[in-house]
Structure 1
Amino acid sequence: MKYVFRKPDQVSITLQLLKWTLLVLPVALTTGALVALFLWSLEKCTGLRWQYPWLLYALPLAGIGIWYLYKLAGKNAAAGNNLIMDNIHEPGGGVPARMAPLVLITTLITHLFGGSAGREGTAVQIGGSMAQLYARWFRLTVEDVQVLLTAGMAAGFGAVFGTPVTGAVFAIEVLAIGVVRYKALMPCLIAAVLADITCASLGIHHTAYHIADFEPARTFSFIHVDMLLLAKVIVSGVAFGLAGYLFSVLIHGIKKYAGVYIKQAWLTPVVGGLLVIVLCWALGTRDYIGLGVNGQYPDSVSILNAFHAGGATPLSWWWKILFTSITLAMGFKGGEVTPLFFIGATLGNILAVWMGVPVDLLAGLGFIAVFAAATNTPLACTFMGVELFGTHYVLYYAVACFTAYYFSGHTGIYGSQRIGIPKTATDNISGLTLKQWSEKTDK
């Protein structure tokens, strides 16, 4: 019998990790640096909008500018995050390098003139386009390109929020509902950590959130959790899931009907901009435009203020859903995740007052759970709770995120997200994208 020498698994794994570290390194460094530039510029744009309030009235013109930029040079880059996900699932034409500068510039335009948008989409698209660029230079195989694109998504997400573990898990969880692709796990973690370090080394400081410690009541000494609080968290998780569902349905619905009733494509962002202006005038506030992390005034409704009693009105969460859906569905650029944080935190603020729960705790749970509902990423959002708020309430993070995930149904903000394992056993829809499922149910 001939003996065949086989390298130990640990040797192969070490070589694999070295390979991916070398491949991921330039992607992570470039993405981290570009995200740092983006976050710095975003802060400057927000300051300018606060300093010159009249900029809001130019939002319709800014919309035309964004439309023209994408018509001139965008091509398939206009598909954004969905294009990256499509190329990971089924490699095609690739992700163009022009996606990074286009989305960076147009997102800044959106924020400068008062659109309601986030920043995650921009960062993820930067990471994806840089990954594709380096993959082309390195002449990687199709399989390796898929992994590097996933790592690019992780790098962008980890850097923009300062949450590298969340970024890594998000990138492998968001591709398909109910399925986590561990093949890209280590490249994603390496990319997210390096991009976050790069971003921080360039002087970018992320917003600090805090949930105060309190001692939960225990009905029985042998039960190490407050059962009444847990029940309230479950009820809140249902509400957070429905909010995520509403956001997803509304943003896709507005986009669909805008395409039907507005015949000239360039008019769509004009109408969207006018609607945002009218809503600001009707409500008598500009709290629901822009990023929403901080407010222009001390008593503004914002994510940070939502962690304190009185920091939100009963309908703050709804107004942010409406403003953001109009902005993003009608041609402006930016992400959805930070607005989802705003929606969840303000909804949690109101629910906490109604149910007698610490406001900062339920605002924090809403912050991550509405995000989990709209993106179908409960694991990543549980990790986000740990990275942002600490480990003390991890059970409540998981319960809120998992409950919200189920109650958002088969909807989500990413139409190219696939249904790997349906949320209910009776549904035989595995393999469809959310867009295909939506079109099927609309018939």
Structure 2
Amino acid sequence: MASLISKFFNTTTRIRHKTFILTLSSWVLWGSIIGIIVGSTSALLINFNDFLTEVREANPVTLFFLPIGGIVIGYIYMYYGKGSRKGNDLILEHIHHEQGKIPLRMGPIVFLCTFITHLLGGSTGREGAAIQMGASISEGVNRLFKVNKIDRSILIISGISGGFGSAFGTPLAGTLFGMEAIVIGKTKYEALIPCLVASFVGHYVATAWGIEHEHFIIKSVPDINTINLLKIIGLSIIFSFTSVMYSQLRHEVKRLSDKYMKNLMLRAFVGGIIIIVLTYTIGSRDYLGRGLPMVERAFDGHVPPLSFLAKLVFTAITMGTGFRGGEVIPLFFMGATLGNTLSSVVGLPPSFLAALGMIAVFSGATNTPVSAFILSMEMFEGKGITYFFIACLISFIFSGHHGIYASQKIYEPKSRMLNLPAGKTIKSIEEEK
């Protein structure tokens, strides 16, 4: 009898060990494949976007072709998109419901349409394209290896991590972003290994292709004392409200477009016209494209006091009317320029508040406080971590149920203070309001 029991437990142990080794090996293999492909496509995306930005700046007349570019983008999504027009929200919906398949064409289409948007002056970034490419590449790996249903969504999440980590040169933040962004109040740690592998491999592959990511330097960090801590708390609340303002305006533009301009070509054409009118009304092209030069100025000198608001409006119209790209770099722009403007009001160093604004607005808009904090450590070499930790949490709490990802689900409310329902998406709560 004892020998039978011993044999049973030995067999069970062997099966458990075999399952562990096979699952770990599979995740490492799949994550590596995703990372290699995503890192390469991110490198191409970054290099090409830099080139297109130079072309646009050297040829200001390209802005007048933005409405035509909008028609092309609308046409592509109307007749060839097959559901991929939802972008990041489609990925989140797929992960939540674990049904259907992500169109493989999502990656190439968003790739092309992001190039069109950047070339012609749309106010957008790149992480949306990187994430959607990562998800479509992960879907390709799912189909190629006939991955079981349990692991399918895990690999999609790892594609998000690979896209983010390689797009910004922040593999630690990328690892966590994929697991944290899909649901508010729950981090899917089951996907940790493939997310870690995809993010780091993607980052190193992009680096191997010669990508050098933007570096912003904090020149000085204020001492930690009661007065400065109170200032940071107050500023973080302002940054969170900025993220809410952008999210609400961006979703409202899309809602009005869906209601009054159902034709995708028409809405993007109108959006392009509005961007041209705004550009000449303001008298500045600083708010076209990614706007990285203005972000650098926020760290080094002074920027126009309302530049954050101008970028907010430009980006909300660009993304809300159907142009493609990403929203993280515009969020960085808003946070950095607002921080620079507020520095003279509260008496804190401009470069420090520019950095704090970048991270806090990102945290509030994406509802990813842990990823945002890790992002600050990677981008600013661990300077001012106490302040960044506080800013990320405060912005996250005060942004409420708002965010840039309409299909982001609330697994558990951020706080009982907010009195929010569990299990609903940002979009469904807005519709009930």
TM-score range, shorter chain: over 0.9
Match of 1:134 in 2: 141
| 1:147 partner letter | I
1:187 aligns to what?
194
1:304 is matched with which residue? 296
Aligned amino acid, residue 361 of structure 1? F
Amino acid across the alignment from 2:253: I
Question: TM-score, with normalisation over the residues of structure 1?
Answer: 0.93
CA drift at 1:84:
1.1
Tell me which amino acid in the other structure corresponds to 1:329.
Answer: G
Question: CA 1:75 to 1:214, structure 2 compared with 1: closer, same or farther past 3 Å?
Answer: closer
2:323 is aligned to: 332
RMSD: 1.5
Distance 1:209 1:11 in 2: 47
- Unpaired runs of 5+ residues, structure 1, are 217-224, 295-301
Show the counterpart of 2:13: 7
Secondary structure at the counterpart of residue 58 of structure 1: helix
- CA gap of 1:333–1:243, structure 2 versus 1, over 3 A, is same
- Does the alignment pair 1:354 with 2:360? no
Partner of 2:226: 227
| Matched residue type, 2:273 | L
Task: State whether residues 308 and 349 of structure 1, in contact with CA within 8 Å, keep that contact through their aligned partners in structure 2.
Answer: no
> 4+ runs of 1 displaced by more than 4 Å?
8-15
1:328-384 CA-partner distances (Å, limit 9, x unpaired): 000111111110000000011111111000111110011111011011001000000
> 2:421 corresponds to which residue?
429
Residue 438 (structure 1) aligned with residue 424 (structure 2): no
Letter paired with 2:295: I
- Asked whether 1:255 is paired with 2:289, we answer no
- The Cα shift of 1:11 comes to 7.5
Q: What secondary structure does 2:236 align onto?
A: helix
Mapped pair 1:27 → 2:26: no
Question: Cα distance, 1:117 vs. partner?
Answer: 0.5
For 1:414, the aligned partner's letter is Y
In structure 2, the residue matched to 1:299 is none
Q: Distance in 2 between matches of 1:214 and 1:322?
A: 31
Matching residue of 1:282: 281
Query: Alpha-carbon deviation of 1:264?
Result: 4.0
Higher mean displacement: 409-418 or 264-273: 264-273
The CA distance in 2 between the partners of 1:412 and 1:377, in whole Å, is 10
Residues 71-98 of structure 1: CA deviation (Å, up to 9, x unaligned): 2211111111111111111122211111
1:3-28 CA distance string (max 9 Å, x none): 21253888865553322111211111
Q: How has the CA–CA distance of structure 1 residues 47 and 92 changed in structure 2, closer, same or farther, with 3 Å as cutoff?
A: same
Shift of 1:215: 5.9
CA contact (8 A) 1:154 1:192 kept: yes
Q: Which amino acid aligns with 2:13?
A: K
1:404 equivalent in alignment to 2:382:
no
Cα offset, 1:179, TM superposition: 1.1
- State the AA in 2 paired with 1:7: T
Distance 1:355 1:149, change over 3 A: same
For the residues of structure 2 that align with 1:214 and 1:259, how far apart are their CA atoms?
A: 45
Of 134, 138, 145, 2:152 maps to 145
Q: 2:239 aligns to what?
A: 240
1:389 has 2:388 as partner: no
Q: Secondary structure at the match of 1:327?
A: helix
Question: Is the Cα–Cα contact under 8 Å of residues 104 and 122 in structure 1 kept in the other structure?
Answer: yes
Q: Deviations over 1:221-269 (max 9, x none)?
A: xxxx322211111111001100000011000001111222335442111
TM alignment of 1:39-188, pairs within 5 A:
39-188=46-195
Q: Deviations over 1:137-165 (max 9, x none)?
A: 10011111111000000000000000000
Contact 1:418 1:431 in 2 (8 A): yes
CA contact (8 A) 2:244 2:365 kept: yes
What is the distance in 1 between the residues matched to 2:231 and 2:24? Answer: 44
Aligned mates of 2:408, 2:222 — CA distance in 1: 40
Counterpart contact for 1:100–1:130, Cα < 8 Å? yes
Residue type of the alignment partner of 1:423? K
The answer to which structure has the higher helix fraction is: 2
Q: Quick one: distance in 2 between partners of 1:16 and 1:237?
A: 42
Provide the rounded CA distance (Å) in 1 between the counterparts of 2:350 and 2:13.
56
Return the alpha-carbon distance in structure 1 between the equivalents of residues 424 and 210 of structure 2: 42
Q: Is the CA contact 1:248–1:411 (under 8 Å) kept in the aligned structure 2?
A: yes
Q: Give the letter for the 1:98 counterpart.
A: R
Change in CA separation of 1:68 and 1:336 when aligned onto 2, cut-off 3 Å? same
| 353 and 265 in structure 1: CA distance in 2 versus 1, 3 angstrom threshold | same
Q: Is the 8 A contact 1:96 1:133 kept in 2?
A: no
* Identity score, percent: 38
The residue type paired with residue 232 of structure 1 is K
Q: CA deviation at 1:69?
A: 1.1
1:266 aligned residue: 265
Report the secondary structure of 2:130's partner residue: helix
Q: Which residues of structure 2 form unaligned runs of 5+?
A: none
Q: Are the counterparts in 1 of residues 239 and 335 from structure 2 also a CA contact under 8 Å?
A: yes
What code does the residue aligned with 1:68 have? Answer: Y
Q: Does the 8 Å contact 2:175/2:196 carry over to 1?
A: yes
C-alpha separation between the residues in 1 aligned to 2:221 and 2:183?
37
Aligned partners of 1:70 and 1:324: how far apart in 2? Answer: 20
Q: Which residue matches 1:291?
A: 290
Aligned AA for 1:397? F
Deviates more, 1:432-441 or 1:238-247: 432-441
